[in-house]
């Protein structure tokens, strides 16, 4: 038995500190744990609590807990179609959270590239927050297996959430000096883009969360934010799954969203076509590792990807210059030989 003491001049009765034999968590009523404790946890904390004991695991797998966490994290999933699809996941909202919450790291070459194994439909659930306030939320379904499937598979893959002639007004005001304003957007404009395969009951979040680049367009003056996740490609080494958000507006006025789109781009800067994009997204859903990144890690990976693109481009230019020089030398040789033939015949 241990005792605590006081350095004060006033005499304080010594109290024993109990090191064992206390009341365990199993003695607390389950309703109290679920209502007053587990409801205060976020997704990762709730998942950790489920690993602490079999008793907590049973309480932490309650569907309502995970449904509330998912709904507060991604308001877009309150869409009727998405709710129905998530209800068919193996463990409901718990499976959906496990697929969608951490950043995805996918570096293994895709498998099952045949058409019968590819998703026949993709659902995009997108949420944009500024300073933790929701400013844009939308669900869009993309059919990949229709009468025009051949057209989809052979054209560049792209999903647009806002029509080119429309825009979405926000309550964000463009204030302050230009550089500071762009930095503020980079820090506070967060985006989640979850791609769902309703047939195979899998999902993946393809957004980097925070922008990896923020710049003003040289021609239109609009601000373009890019959220990117680097994935293993089918043909090239890596591809960039990019979500582009374009914001317009005048200084001092409220900005509006003009573009929210998602596409895949290879290391040569070409847009990846529909079939290859489906292969890559399917592989990311099924084989990609979910990992919580430290702040700024996504931007570092994007910059490393840009450096790889630069090295690849320089190597290609050197090869092309070498081929051009070989053709020039061959042409000169043929010309000299022809002239010599004319002179000495």
pLDDT (0 to 100) of residue 17 = 42
E strand segments, the chain: 2-3, 16-17, 103-105, 121-130, 133-143, 158-160, 168-173, 189-197, 202-205, 213-216, 223-232, 238-248, 254-266, 289-291
Adjacent-strand bridge partners of 106: 231
Under a CB-based contact definition with an 8 Å cutoff, are residues 211 and 228 in contact? no
32-70 pLDDT per residue, tens: 888 888 888 888 888 888 888 888 888 888 999 999 999
Reference 262, options 242, 233, 282; nearest CA is 242
Q: What is the pLDDT of residue 59?
A: 87
> What is the structure's pLDDT at 195?
97
User: Is the pLDDT score of 328 beyond 50?
Assistant: yes
Higher per-residue confidence, 79 vs 119: 79
Q: What is the pLDDT of residue 345?
A: 67
Q: Residue 19: what pLDDT?
A: 43
pLDDT confidence of residue 262: 96
Question: 55 or 271: which carries more pLDDT confidence?
Answer: 271
Question: What is the distance between the terminal CA atoms of the chain, rounded to a whole angstrom?
Answer: 117
Task: Tell me the per-residue pLDDT of 142-200, one tens digit each, with 9 for 90 and over.
Answer: 988 765 556 888 899 999 999 988 999 998 888 878 888 899 999 999 999 999 999 99
Share of the chain above pLDDT 90, in %: 43
- Residue whose C-alpha is closest to residue 229's, from 207, 209, 214: 207
Which of the listed ranges 2-16, 50-64, 79-93, 328-342 does the model predict with the highest average pLDDT? 79-93
Residue in this structure with the two tokens 């926000």, named with its chain if needed: 170
């Amino acid at each position: 038995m241990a005792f605590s003491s006081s350095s004060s001049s006033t005499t304080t009765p010594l109290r024993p500190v109990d090191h064992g034999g206390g009341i365990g968590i199993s003695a607390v009523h389950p309703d109290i744990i679920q209502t007053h404790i587990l409801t205060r946890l976020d997704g990762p904390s709730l998942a950790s609590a489920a690993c602490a004991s079999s008793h907590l695991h049973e309480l932490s797998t309650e569907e309502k807990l995970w449904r509330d966490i998912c709904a507060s994290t991604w308001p877009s999933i309150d869409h009727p179609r998405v709710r129905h699809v998530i209800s068919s996941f193996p463990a409901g909202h718990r499976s959906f959270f496990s697929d969608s919450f951490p950043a995805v790291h996918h570096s293994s070459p895709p498998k099952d590239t045949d058409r019968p194994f590819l998703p026949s439909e993709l659902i995009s659930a997108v949420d944009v927050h500024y300073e933790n306030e929701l400013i844009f939320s939308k669900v869009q379904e993309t059919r990949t297996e229709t009468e025009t499937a051949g057209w989809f598979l052979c054209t560049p893959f792209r999903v647009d959430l806002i029509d080119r002639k429309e825009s979405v007004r926000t309550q964000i005001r463009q204030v302050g000096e230009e550089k500071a304003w762009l930095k503020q957007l980079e820090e506070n404009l967060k985006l989640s883009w979850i791609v769902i395969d309703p047939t195979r009951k899998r999902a993946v979040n393809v957004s980097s969360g925070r922008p990896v680049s923020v710049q003003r367009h040289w021609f239109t003056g609009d601000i373009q934010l890019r959220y990117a996740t680097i994935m293993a490609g089918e043909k090239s080494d890596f591809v960039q799954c990019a979500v582009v958000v374009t914001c317009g507006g005048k200084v001092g006025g409220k900005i509006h969203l003009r573009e929210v789109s998602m596409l895949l781009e290879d290391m040569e800067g070409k847009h990846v076509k529909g079939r290859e994009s489906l292969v890559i997204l399917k592989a990311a859903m099924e084989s990609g590792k979910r990992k919580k990144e430290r702040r700024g890690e996504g931007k570092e990976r994007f910059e490393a990807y840009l450096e790889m693109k630069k090295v690849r481009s320089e190597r290609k230019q050197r090869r092309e210059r070498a081929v051009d020089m070989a053709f020039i030398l061959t042409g000169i040789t043929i010309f000299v030989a022809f002239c010599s033939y004319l002179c000495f015949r």
